[in-house]
Amino acid sequence: METGTAGTAGPAAARVEPVWTGLPRGLLKMRRLLLVVWLVPLAAAAGVLLGLFAGPAWAAFALLPLAVVAWGWPMLGRNWRSWRYAERDDDLLISRGVLWREETVVPYGRMQLVEVTSGPVERHFGLASVQLHTAAAATDARIPGLLPEEAERLRDRLTELGEARSAGL
């Protein structure tokens, strides 16, 4: 004889955990490259200028940008891992944040505009971002660093679902 809860119904049985999707690793690579590209030349320039004009002891302050790189490298990884999104039946969930977790729920029927954008650096890394605009500016949301095909698929799906949900209002 089998025992179980397959026949039971209730709020716990109806609740389904969302299927979360993380962001592509290319976003992490892009952010880390930008960190290095900005701070390493700054450290070199500061070291040379301080060494020439203030003396070698002051040139040690040029190590500060390198310390920021050493600290920022793992922090960017933690931040990248914190970003995720989930498509549910009636809304889109976006979760992010390490110290301060933030979860945004965007109902499909409230979406007014879904944009896919890609700046020059994002395009170089083969990435795009999805920007969601709603009637309330406080619920506007963004998903950065998606592959362009996924960004376009998400835009098309969200637009379709938004039109279907708003038609019923």
Residue whose pair of structure tokens reads 């931040």 in the numeric block: 79
Rounded to whole angstroms, how far apart are CA atoms 102 and 80?
14
Instruction: Return the ∠ at Cα 125 (arms to 111 and 118), rounded to 5°.
Output: 30
Token pair of 69, please? 């790189």
Rounded to whole angstroms, how far apart are CA atoms 66 and 87?
40
Rounded to whole angstroms, how far apart are CA atoms 161 and 89?
9
H or E stretch covering 79: helix 63-82
Phi, psi for 48 (deg, rounded to 5): -65, -50
pTM score above 0.85 = no
Sign of CA dihedral 129, 65, 71, 104: negative
Across the strands, what pairs with 94?
85, 104
pLDDT under 70: residue ranges of the chain: 1-15, 139, 167-169
Per-residue pLDDT at 109: 86
Contact 62, 47 (CB under 8 A): yes
Specify the length of the chain in residues: 169
Range 94-99, long-range pairs (CB < 8 A, 24+ positions): 94/141, 94/142, 94/143, 95/20
